[in-house]
Structure 1
């Protein structure tokens, strides 16, 4: 059935373009991806001799790789226990904790690891295995690291870049609840699984730290469960409270001994002693596996021991078959935690160090060879974990900064996630070493950015195309390597859809949807996060997850598409026979728009089911905004049934509601939905409002395309608005291409005026051409597009078409070449970082060096005008600022004129004026203000920006003169307040008081007030000790806040928090931030509080708060501010290191250059390398020429 008569909704500028990638103007799914067949996992075919890395199931947290290593290949005779564990996890009631106990070698870990990898449906496991066999995972610090990462992923939160032990513990305890609630919202249950609780070595080896048991939640919520496994009758650590569930004997379950495990134990302990006593090859193998922490293959051990591989395998399989255990990828580790501990004790620290030296030398040999094809997997995975467990910072740095090694890892896995994790682990250890080099921290940040940047240029739909061809592992690796959360989430949602289309693992598809949903919370802007939520919602509808899809639409309320998708969920429920669920969703609708459209979907469903009486009753009682549409749907149904009288009566009721163009659009949409095209056209042409009439024509034309009436649709193009022309032409071109009418399709596509829609249409045509066997022509059309990015997108569709035509090898080859040619830094992203670096250098007094960095920056932007809310537009803002800083004002103006999105031109010009005035280009700023002046505009944004720029630059007298010359009292009041605060911060307290008195006089003449005005004035009044005025202004500000009581709750809390900051009541301000539901809004206020604390000299508290900010960009700015304000060199170093980790190298430069001016050459070297690495315009075209297979 049709999903609820979904109609056209106008969404914010810029977002429409993104939504158009998956959503039709008339509610149709535009991409129309077709099923693609290819045998096996395509990723395996392209990784040389080491393709087994791509065979592992796709999982999110890197820790799951270790779980796979721990788990047995087969679990013997544990069906009853697995059933009991599943019952505990899914029970509606009962205790939240269970503690399975048994002696050593009972098979506890094997059972728990197997269950973690095979949970019941709807259960989300967060595992931690206390073990020394794999990287010293045996204390509370390791527990917090591993579990924090997993909980943050589930909750959709970013972790602060640097956390002290106390703040880590606090974040962990908070995230238990956040992750549990996130799971519950998705219809899942969170289960925390901890195995080996009694083996926690941190309790006795580290003073002042928690035990793992002490960090387990004392209270659970939203159905959370905790599963613990360990030895018989272990003493609980002293930091476990008396009322903790772990002290309840009722939760204990005894695990029966596994006869299989016991038999292995006796033999293994006997073999271990024999191996050490006998010496020789057996001894070497034992020492190497023990020192390495597992992960070596038989071939690796043969190379290390210079032994014959056959003999090594024979020893591992027979003479020591009980001591060693084999895991996935044929890697070996000691068979039990007890054996690891015994072997370490029996071999001694000195002997283990001697064998680690062998591993170091082995790694050095492969590094000297440039990590070629054939590099042992251990050196690319387990080796670094061993270094991390040993705290070997020097060797970790070598690995983490080795580009060739990370390139090899990329070829093996298809992504850079593992490489980025290595860099982050090294950054973390470096931050703990007070004497570590800041230049090393900068090098790590630069390399981490480089790893992310080289994936930013991967074209849209590349990961999903791999998934459609059967390469899910490679697809996921590519998507997870994308640095931008928005793109990552969109690609993951597309991959999940492809998994569903192929009939692959349904559970994996839902897991990927959850991962995409997590990305929505990490987007830089709420608007982009909502687009991701809506994209995931579409995929969930296809998966039959109606309530979860509706929940995401509910979360995105405020976005133009939210109510449309909410209605789609209701319609899907009705189509699936779940009427009660649909009606419940209608009752639970978050706002009138969602509820109304949902009810309209119910009416449509009832009509299609032939329940006309009920449909009519529901239509008559529908809320007014959707009643008209519902009545029309019911009227058309009555007419088709032959009941003309009832039909006319219903239509008459609908007409009475059509007093505005908006209501008549509802009628048009309903008639189109019902298939009554003649009447829809008549009603549409009768609309008086031009915009609405144009929209009606567009709706009718799109339906004609959908119905296959292409000639009539094309004939209507001349009557459409520019927006409608683009939408209909695009859909018509794609429909014609699917029918093989390529000439006509291409001509239509070339005539689309809007760049994004034109490129989308051409890309789809290219795919259809390739599928039809016209590969050479498809490649020629792809090359004809302007810009490397557009060409790459078209080539991806060419590959998809080849695959659909049964030419999978050619498709795979083309996709790999596209990857290779586009895996370079994004030019606009490079421009943004170069600009940020130039600004920092200018502010540090290195103006000439800054000028060098922006030399030729214009060449890094695409030749066409940009679209708003894109990476290119963000980069343009930074470039304009940088050019103003180096006093290249004409170049900045020229850049704006050529590239600025029309809707952002004015805003960018305002930013340019402000920066020019701040850096001393006062006359240039004045000229820009005069050039933008319009009659009757009053105090224009450009003039306000000029005043603020003078204030930013400390040019107090001209700033005061300009502010006093403003015609609007509110504007004058606002700018004088800012100047007063600036004077106070600059130490000119008497002058600040004078301006304050002047401002207070102005306030008596105002009828309206602005919150921001009050905040700046309050800051200054509080600073100069005017308590009387502070109290009066505070009362007035709160009165105005109540007057605006209809504002969203977040805005009210935001205002109160800002008020508390201005008054210096930082405790209250921090408390208010916890009430903010939007993480970006919360981070922004926390940044303001941090800045205020630092300016007030409360630097330790400012440091603590900066480290707890969850949005990386806000955390970086806050840390940089503290680093610049503090006189404590150690604190400045800590804050700069955190900023490097949180926001990347460019935003952290102000703090870094203050502490380490010797970093300038490295900055310049980095900037020039980035510029040189940007994608040349001919590379993708070259890929098309060399890769497109001939038709012959």
Structure 2
């Protein structure tokens, strides 16, 4: 007995150090028995309850709702049990079994968790189009805030269908002032997206929360400006009370006017903006538009008047790119060298090297690339270095240089492992997983992805791995990976990629099945931004499987939802995705119109990195020659890592030459 007691003590001591997240990881990768055993072996009651709750959530995400509910109900800690059952109810609702989801939610004795679970059920029901039932469920919620939140979700779903009268009516019944304001702002965006700008403005002006009213009017301003009614857009913008939102709206108008070619008027509007940062952003946008139009002599002086150092560097980078792309390489290089920020200067010289390489002068391009590398090496941030190397590795792999890509990815991983900040390390390792997958080492990529500690990055990285595996022809394994992903948006992306690959292999029946599954999962997503993007991906997969009529219907649904999205970044990306799906379906004229809308919206985005992401998404759709210009803008406005993989697909051999020039003398760290 003494030996048994000692052995039990050793087991308890060992189990005491097991992370509570580990059991859920086993459930996620398809081993629920082991997950539950490890969780139940934890000796600390609180840790055991927390681990079991996480296992129940993970099992529910895999689709085994019976077992998930069973596990959740065995948890002795009342709070954790309620939390786990609420998660199970949400998963069941997302899977489409709304009756059962509601039943589970109503068994919860904890008022807060019951309210949260019913709110999720109401949102899921609303997403399917059964708005009457969704509203009924929402109105039975006791908690005022959760009830308001659920009704706001129903409002958004109703607005997405075009029934703006009913959406406004529901929104106005909300007693919570902030939720009512948020719901009305969503209705404003949906109405504005349909072109009914006067009504959208009227609804916006009735919002009693000052910040939400200002934000809604700024959204209307952007929608009006996107249609070319710049004077009206400016008038609305100048009536906004909130100084920051007014400045942001005017900056968007200035950029829209500049994009339309009236550079003088755009600069005048920009210089009237009170907020220094927004004024700098607007002037940067004007300088970039002037440079893109070919007026390089005017672009550089405009950029130099910007007082904000980062925005000035951004505008000068765009000017340098435009000058280089236009063939005036001698002028582009001095412009790039005047930029004070090392990262921006390195980026500008890199872009000049790209332009020179595209012109055929590879020797000179290599010199510029080496200069850019030397400047970049002075940047000591390991997070940035790791992501930079990973992005280059991914791009080199896209260009066919798999061996070189593998070496760069290995170095990127070594650097990433030295990062002490957990969030930054996860972000860097996620980029490494993408690069390793692109380089062809799918097992290693999958290991890196599964070890990521944040659910969002893990799901995104696994989806990227699934895409790479599918593209390599291992369709069965791609499906297996896709089915372990718990995030619906990323799972849709992975299944759509598998459907594409299977269709390309000639098995259209199997591809159709995967595409249908992707569609079903996409329709469970309650967030309109994500649902529009997911449906667009599913539409492309359905088209690839040969069902163009169904693909067109899905694309239309995705477009309707996308046009209700308030966030310009997400709306631009969603519309670009729809354009891609429509292109696959063969309707090139409609695709061109959608891509043009996405580009216009992308230009209203205030965050440089987010704008670069949106422009890159549009470039994927439009193809050459327009894509070259859009990528040039993406390079100049945000991180140069964003458009690099796509650029490698457009000019693969130049990507190889660039990587060789920049990293040729850079030995792996284990060799140093």
**TM-score bin, normalised by smaller chain:** 0.3 to 0.5
Greater C-alpha Rg: 1
TM-score, normalised on structure 1? Answer: 0.25
Does 1 or 2 have the higher relative contact order (CA < 8 Å, sep 6+)?
Answer: 1
Greater share of helix residues, 1 or 2? Answer: 2
